A = this chain, B = another copy of it.
Amino acid sequence: MLMETEFAGAVQVQGRTHHTPGLPPATHATAISYYAPNAMIYAQGDTAGPLYQVAFGAVRICRLTADGRRQISAFHFAGEVFGFEATSEHHFCAESIEGTGIRVLRAATGDGYAGQILPLALAGLSRAQEHLLVLGRQNATERLAAFLLDLNDRQGNHEEIDLPMQRLDIADYLGLTFETVSRVFRRLKDARIVALPTARHVDILDLGALETLCE
C-alpha cells in the first residue's frame, strides 16, 4: 500500500488536512517527512523536543542494552503521536518499520499546549502500564494473544490483522525470541484460533478463545 523508495533519511511530502485520531485539536496539517523502511527517526541520546505523528506506516520505539538485547516499548500506527520525554534527551529510539510518513507537531516545551499533550502522555502511560502486566506475569501464549487483540482493536476490530512488523519485532515487544513467537503462532493455528494466510496477515477465527487466553 505504500511507496517503497529508497532513502536513508527523510524527505518532505505534501501534507494533507484531514483530522486523524489522536491529533490534538487546533493542530494544522504540516509537511510529512517520508522514512524508508527501518530508518531512524530519532536515536537514543538525541535531544528531545518535538512530538511526532504517524501519517501512514508504522513506527517502533525501542531501546538496546549494551550486550545487544532489544526491548520494543511500543508500536505506533497512523494517527498516533509519539516522542514524549521526561528529560531533554531521548531514552529510546524511534524507527520506521515500513515506509512511513511522519508529521512533526511542535516543540513539546510550550506550556500553553500542556493541556493538549497531557491526555496523550497519560494514554501512553496507561498503555505502558498495561504492557508491564503482560511482560511481568503472562506466558508466551498469553502475550501473543494480548498482542493480537490489541492490534485487532487498533485496526478496527475486523478480525483481520495486518502485521507490518516482522517476527523479531514482535518478539522484542513481547519479551520473547522470534522462534517462540513462531511456535506460538503455530499453536494458535493448530487450535483453529487464528489463520495465517501469509506470515504478515492474521485472521482471527475464534475471538472468544483469544480473549480467554489473556483473561
Contacts and interface: CB of A to CB of B under 8 A. Distances in A.
Interface in A103-152: 111, 114-115, 117-119, 121-126, 128-133, 135-137
B71 A126 contact: no
Contacts of A87: 126
A118 to B, nearest CB: 5
Interface in A76-121: 84-87, 91-92, 111, 114-115, 117-119, 121
Contacts of A132: 71, 73, 128, 131-132, 135
**Chain A at the B interface: SS class:** helix
Give the number of copies in the complex: 2
A146 to B, nearest CB: 11
Interface of A: 63, 65-67, 69-71, 73, 84-87, 91-92, 111, 114-115, 117-119, 121-126, 128-133, 135-137, 172, 174-175, 215
Given A114-B118, A137-B65, A91 B128 contact: no
5 contacts: A71-B136, A87-B126, A91-B129, A114-B118, A128-B128
Contact of A65 (B86, B125, B215): B215
Contact of A215 (B66, B71, B84): B66
